[in-house]
Amino acid sequence: MKNYKIIIQYDGTRYKGWQGQKSTDATIQGKLEHVLSNMAGHVVEVIGSGRTDAGVHAAGQVANFKLEEHWSKDEIFATLNQYLPEDIAVISIEEVDERFHSRYQAIEKTYVYRIHNSKIPDVFGRRFSYQYEEKLDIDRMKKAAALLTGTHDFASFCGNKKMKKSTVRTIYQIQVEKEKDDIVISYTGNGFLQNMIRILTGTLIEIGSNRREVEEIPKILDGKNREFAGYTAPPQGLLLKEVRYENGD
């Protein structure tokens, strides 16, 4: 058996997220496994670097799977892109060490959240940005973002209230930038909890709209309670941009 690493792009609009589900075939993992299993003649498990929520997009999702040696890398690549839906594409494939695991060995991820901050809707970008009409104060958002960087217990920003594992994560950087009518927030960290980026974004939006104070951030973190943080921003503005590994991949 050979172990293959792939990088995938997808428009998550019509999918129920990354994770395969028995109740539906509308998942990214499910689509990949369907094509690979049909090709191989047996069930093939595809392991993703992480689970993106329903409606969330990816430009650089990483996954790995194992196949019998008689399939070439080029054959697998061509088959995937021939039979996957048009809103999912494999942009690269490589053979990796048999011990490579896309989820366990990931050391850093970057997500981008795009807010269209205008009273005029973005007709062409509506599936990939959050339409928010009220004017946002980007300087206040930047100050709050600075308080969220570093290593913290992000329990207040976790969508899973029954989370039993550690909710401590490290955010290396949060960049808040203005691009014409859009506000683009980039999050880079060693990992993120369920809905964490969308809750962080909802909180920053509340601060940017003066509904919450910058100084509340330490209290929200210390409270370790989902009720203390802001709302969960909708999924369409979120994109998994990149996943990095120790060897520089």
Please give the structure tokens belonging to residue 94. Answer: 């490589």
Quote the CA–CA distance of 216 and 197 in Å, as a whole number: 18
- Kindly give the residue spans of alpha helices, DSSP state H, lying in 10-164: 28-40, 73-83, 138-148
Distances (CA, A) of 143 to 16, 85, 165, 208: 34, 42, 29, 10
**Beta strand spans in 161-228 (E):** 168-179, 182-189
53 is catalytic: yes
Quote the CA–CA distance of 70 and 113 in Å, as a whole number: 41
Please give the structure tokens belonging to residue 148. Answer: 């969220």
Which of the residues 25, 53, 87, 222 is marked catalytic?
A: 53
Show Cβ contacts of residue 171 under 8 Å, excluding neighbours closer than 6 positions.
148, 149, 150, 152, 187, 188, 189
Active-site residue numbers? 53
